[in-house]
Amino acid sequence: MIREIELTAARGRLAALAGGREDGRPLLCLHGWLDNAASFQPLAPWLADFRWVALDLPGHGGSQHRAPGHDYAFVDWIHDVLDALDALGWERADLLGHSMGGAIASLLAAAVPERVRRLALVEALGPLAGDPDQAGQRLRESVQARRQLRPRPPRRIPDIDTAVNARLAATKMEREAARLIVERNLRPFEGGYAWRSDPRLTLPASTRMPEAAVRSMLRLIEAPTLVIAAEPSPPWFPPDILRERATCVADIRLQQVPGGHHLHMEQPGVVGPMLRDFLAAD
């Protein structure tokens, strides 16, 4: 049975889904950008022996947004996850992350290796890197976008299918997978629905680490690591970058699965057993 829970964190309440065995090995699941905890529901049958919790990261799903005037700095995601581990009473846990959630999990494992027993990543190994020569332009565009953002009334969405169609227009994925994410990211509004996610999540990042900095952090990961990557690779996660980053992690294995970026949702029967077997190991 999957149930809703809430956790207290320094920057606001975190919503989450929880399932599995109460006496199972603790497993914290972190979703991708503009997704939410529901993205891990298709994997639930293969996580049944774990005590798993899937977070809604701040600004996503049912979790609180950042306070007015604040941004979504990458390092703060790490503290949000550590707050969640503390609230759960988990001194050490396994981490499972998809896309942005995998990037967060990667750097958390590097920053506080004593908190992570095993690290499982789907379509991720560290955050997106940036070209140092473009850093100034990136900063300029980010600040301008942030200063131009103004509060707007929510846009009414007449029905769930309309919301699903909007998600599919922005993200290539199977309709059933999109619907799971979308349903958790809606709230009732004026006889229809409105998005729950924070509009600030769509602002361009002010900084991105250069590739060399990302690799220096990956070298600090001590946990055994599994990366499951889609074939063909998306343009932001090319196979040459994955292979080169993998050489930075002492204990790592790579698996490629034919499919799209949300392959953990679209092919849970393939991805689930890989994750279960890896995370069950001592």
pLDDT confidence of residue 79: 97
Active site residue 99: yes
Q: Could you give the domains of the chain?
A: 3-131+208-280 (3.40.50.1820)
Q: Which amino acid is at 108?
A: L
Side-chain-facing half-sphere of 27: CA atoms under 13 Å: 31
Residue 18 dihedral angles phi and psi, to the nearest 5° = -130, 145
CA 138 centroid distance within chain: 23
In this predicted model, what pLDDT tens digit does every residue of 175-198 receive, in sequence order? 999 999 999 999 999 999 999 999
Which structure tokens are listed for 162? 């309309």
pLDDT band at 24 (very low <50, low <70, confident <90, very high): very high
Q: Which amino acid is at 14?
A: L
Which structure tokens are listed for 45? 């049958």
CA distance linking residue 57 with residue 55, whole number of Å: 6
Average pLDDT, the chain: 97
Which structure tokens are listed for 176? 């059933």
In this predicted model, what pLDDT tens digit does every residue of 43-89 receive, in sequence order? 999 999 999 999 999 999 999 999 999 999 999 999 999 999 999 99
Options 63, 99, 106, 197, the catalytic residue:
99
Is residue 279 within 8 Å of residue 120, measured between CB atoms? yes
